[in-house]
């Protein structure tokens, strides 16, 4: 048969263990939070920038340089057209150059 004293001792020990476990959990959580915070602070400036949204190509352009009805997507279209126009010319010019490592 267990005495009252031994029952009390068991309860006290159990309570101390539960409290200890809770304190450990809190300490671990705080440590993890601090660790991730420090990692985040080490990220380069670029990564800290506000996440960009995809460009809305059908929307009117910003700024004062645009003409009426110009849309953001017009720049991409014009760039692709220019790329097609210049591709062969640039290839031909590149072939006309003596190739090889230049000084750095």
Partner 1 sequence: MKRRGMELSLADHSAPQIHKIERRLFLKQGLSLGALALLSGCALTDDENVQTVLTGMSRWNDGVQAWLFDPNKLAPEYPESAITKPFPFNAYYGENEIREVDANSYKLELSGLIRDTKPWTLPELYALPQTSQITRHICVEGWSAIGKWGGVRFSTFLEGIGADLGAKYVGFKCADDYYTSIDMATALHPQTLLTFKYADQILPPKYGFPMKLRVPTKLGFKNPKHIMAMFVTNTYPGGYWEDQGYNWFSGS
Shortest distance, position 37 Cβ to partner 1, whole Å:
22
User: Which of 1, 2, 39, 65 is the binder for partner 1 (CB under 8 A)?
Assistant: 65
Binding of partner 1 at residue 54 (CB under 8 A)?
yes
69: which residues sit within 8 A by CB, 6+ positions away? 60
Asked if 57 contacts 72 with a C-beta cutoff of 8 angstroms, the reply is: yes
Asked if 61 contacts 74 with a C-beta cutoff of 8 angstroms, the reply is: yes
Shortest distance, position 98 Cβ to partner 1, whole Å:
6
Binding of partner 1 at residue 4 (CB under 8 A)?
no
1 versus 100: smaller Cβ distance to partner 1: 100
CA 14/CA 19 separation, integer angstroms: 9
């Amino acid at each position: 048969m267990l005495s009252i004293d031994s029952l009390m001792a068991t309860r006290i020990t159990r309570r101390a263990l539960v409290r200890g476990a809770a304190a450990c959990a809190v300490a671990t959580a705080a440590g993890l939070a601090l660790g991730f915070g420090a990692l985040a602070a080490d990220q380069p400036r670029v990564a800290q920038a506000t996440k960009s949204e995809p460009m809305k190509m059908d929307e009117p352009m910003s700024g004062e340089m645009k003409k009426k009805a110009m849309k953001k997507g017009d720049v991409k279209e014009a760039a692709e057209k220019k790329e097609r126009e210049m591709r062969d010319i640039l290839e031909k010019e590149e072939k006309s150059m003596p190739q090889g490592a230049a000084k750095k």
